[in-house]
Amino acid sequence: MLGLMQQHPLLVSSLLRFVERHNGDVEIVSRRVEGDLHRYTWSDAARRARQLANALDRTHVGNDSRVGTMAWNGYRHLELYYGVSGSGRVLHTINPRLHPEQVAWIVNHAEDEVVCFDTTFLPLVQSIHAKCPTVKLWVALCEEDGLVPNSGIPGLASYEVWIGTQSDHYEWPALDENRASSLCYTSGTTGNPKGALYTHRSTVLHAYATALPDVMCLSTRDTVLPVVPMFHVNAWGLPYSAALSGCKLVFPGPAMDGKSIHDLIEGERVTFAAGVPTIWQMLLTYLQANGLTFSTLARTVIGGSACTPAMIDAFRARYGVEVLHAWGMTETSPLGTLCTLKHKHLSLSPEAQMKVLLKQGRSVFGVDMKVVDEDGRELPWDGTSPGNLLTSGHWVVQGYFKDESAAPFVDEWFTTGDVATIDPDGYLQITDRSKDVIKSGGEWISSIEIESIAMAHPAVAMAACIGVKHPKWDERPIVAVVRKLGANVSREEMLAFYATKSVAKWQVPDDILFVDSIPLGATGKMLKNELREHLRDYRLPST
């Protein structure tokens, strides 16, 4: 028997309609490519999103057609988020920092019909447009006078001209909530990029969940600064959750340096900021160098990669800013876990709380996780048994765009590729990537844990731990070490250093190799595959 409650689809456009109606006068402030600050309100954003929807109709962009963006965080990008998805097209946010060949590959795979780009990325567009036959319109996110003459891009349009002549009356269609709303490609280290195709339903449920007190705790009293790019998993959903919560939004545009971010936080009285450790490190360095503080910032969510204790401590103890450590991925929209304390932790010492806060956190209702062994059997939540991390939920992929079977599953749980432990309170700790973990004598050794011990040695600039084949133990860990300029440390000293650390004897590496450099990818991650290839003729010392 069905119940008798009203049926309304969960739609991206309903978020915009709600914020316009209930918090229409709340500001949106954007630092632009031109360097100035642009100000308007959620009402203005809604009005212009409707103009954009009319422009898409006028340009005969079909239902479900992909509209690509290569843009910084700013108000026009926000209009694209709502105008494209709301009108039944699919917003495809492209990472413009990828290699041009990869950008072209992604545009072609997505079959983008329109691509809108910040003028910063004109050279990129100039280099790829001829290789993108599906794109029938390139739109520069600027006024008409911002268009470069003779750009070489046929029919290049100015966004302001394109939408400016359109009516701001538009009735958002009542779409199926399971329709695709946006598309984001993972920039995997191996193979071609894969597209996560979000739905209206998954986006709205994710917005509800991320705004909760145990997650980002967003209210209409908050001013939100998404430093994490809108081309990285929809800036962790903040353009949606900010509308749901009626927050003031502050966009940093291209200016990610410490001074620009600090000026914006202070000038706009930001209460909540979201970013990755590298950007936050630049911010902290700037603060310290200039003796500055935060006067309004209360919380920051940090994700993308693990956060150091020093960073959490600096935010908490020195600046009074609560740090929310998070884990997620493109395939999880991205909210997987977020770290807030439970009631039982409130009475702990700051040091004991820090131990909890260093973990990646716990699940929120709507998504769940488990760790399993190589046979898919669930492992205990004891905080010490590492296993393959699986996840399942309303905003987790069930396949990739035009490549559905490429997504790995175990019993309908998505395989994240991470190795993690879960403690009895449900706190996740990522210990490794599954392709990097070293399987020795039936036990798993975290390559990250082993290399971070080496990194703690004063003579070590960089260290990478990999597994090499062993006739008896299957694999054994070794560590490639780059010494600091002028520093000296021997193989034996390094191995002795391990003996002083809290690491089991069988986890101590079998060998230390000194190398000149370790190969790094575009985003600064160590390319361990290349290192393994480089060391393919290496043999373990006989013991």
Helix (H, G, I), strand (E, B) or coil at 189: coil
**Residue in 185, 395, 473, 498 binding its own copies, rule: CB under 8 A:** 395
**Residue in 165, 219, 308, 384 binding its own copies, rule: CB under 8 A:** 219
Question: Does 536 help bind its own copies (rule: CB under 8 A)?
Answer: no
Question: Does 318 help bind its own copies (rule: CB under 8 A)?
Answer: no
In the complex, minimum distance from the CB of residue 240 to its own copies, in angstroms, rounded to a whole number? 10
Task: Count interface residues toward its own copies (CB under 8 A).
Answer: 73
Q: In the structure encoding, which two tokens stand for residue 413, read together?
A: 């749980």
Asked if residues 332 and 391 have their Cβ atoms less than 8 Å apart, the reply is yes
Tell me 540's DSSP state. P
Whether 404 sits among the annotated catalytic residues: the reply is no
**Residue in 197, 225, 270, 279 binding its own copies, rule: CB under 8 A:** 197
Euclidean distance between CA atoms 511 and 513, whole angstroms = 7
91: number of CA atoms within 13 Å, CB side? 33
Question: Does 4 help bind its own copies (rule: CB under 8 A)?
Answer: yes
Helix (H, G, I), strand (E, B) or coil at 112: coil
Whether 143 sits among the annotated catalytic residues: the reply is no
Going by C-beta distance under 8 Å and a sequence separation of 6 or more, which residues neighbour residue 423?
Answer: 359, 381, 382, 383, 429
Question: Does 383 help bind its own copies (rule: CB under 8 A)?
Answer: no
**Residue in 239, 393, 467, 477 binding its own copies, rule: CB under 8 A:** 393
Question: Does 295 help bind its own copies (rule: CB under 8 A)?
Answer: no
**Residue in 105, 208, 231, 498 binding its own copies, rule: CB under 8 A:** 208
Question: Does 6 help bind its own copies (rule: CB under 8 A)?
Answer: yes
| Positions of E strands within 320-359 | 322-328, 335-338
Q: Which of residues 352-371 bind its own copies (CB under 8 A)?
A: 362-363, 365, 368
In the complex, minimum distance from the CB of residue 144 to its own copies, in angstroms, rounded to a whole number? 33
Question: Does 109 help bind its own copies (rule: CB under 8 A)?
Answer: no
Query: Between the CA atoms of 370, 375, 377 and 381, what dihedral angle is there, to the nearest 10 degrees?
Result: -50
Question: Does 21 help bind its own copies (rule: CB under 8 A)?
Answer: yes
Among 131, 136, 259, 439, the active-site one is 439
Among 330, 444, 451, 475, the active-site one is 444
Asked if residues 506 and 461 have their Cβ atoms less than 8 Å apart, the reply is no
Euclidean distance between CA atoms 323 and 340, whole angstroms = 9
Helix (H) or strand (E) run with residue 402 in it: none
Question: Going residue by residue from 435 to 474, which x/- string records binding to its own copies, judged by CB under 8 A?
Answer: ----------------------------------------
Phi, psi (degrees; rounded to nearest 5) at 101 = -60, -40
Among 93, 186, 199, 300, the active-site one is 186
Whether 439 sits among the annotated catalytic residues: the reply is yes
Question: Does 199 help bind its own copies (rule: CB under 8 A)?
Answer: yes
Among 331, 337, 416, 475, the active-site one is 331
**Residue in 11, 12, 13, 15 binding its own copies, rule: CB under 8 A:** 15
**Residue in 397, 464, 465, 518 binding its own copies, rule: CB under 8 A:** 397
Looking at beta carbons only, is 382 or 443 nearer to its own copies?
A: 382
Question: Does 201 help bind its own copies (rule: CB under 8 A)?
Answer: yes
Q: Which of residues 44-103 bind its own copies (CB under 8 A)?
A: 63-64, 90
Question: Does 296 help bind its own copies (rule: CB under 8 A)?
Answer: no
Whether 278 sits among the annotated catalytic residues: the reply is no
Looking at beta carbons only, is 23 or 69 nearer to its own copies?
A: 23
Asked if residues 16 and 82 have their Cβ atoms less than 8 Å apart, the reply is yes
Going by C-beta distance under 8 Å and a sequence separation of 6 or more, which residues neighbour residue 382?
Answer: 421, 423, 424
Asked if residues 262 and 287 have their Cβ atoms less than 8 Å apart, the reply is yes
β-strands 460-470, 362-363 pairing = unpaired
Euclidean distance between CA atoms 357 and 334, whole angstroms = 19
Going by C-beta distance under 8 Å and a sequence separation of 6 or more, which residues neighbour residue 267?
Answer: none
Residue 194, amino acid: K
Give me the active site residues, please: 186, 331, 439, 444
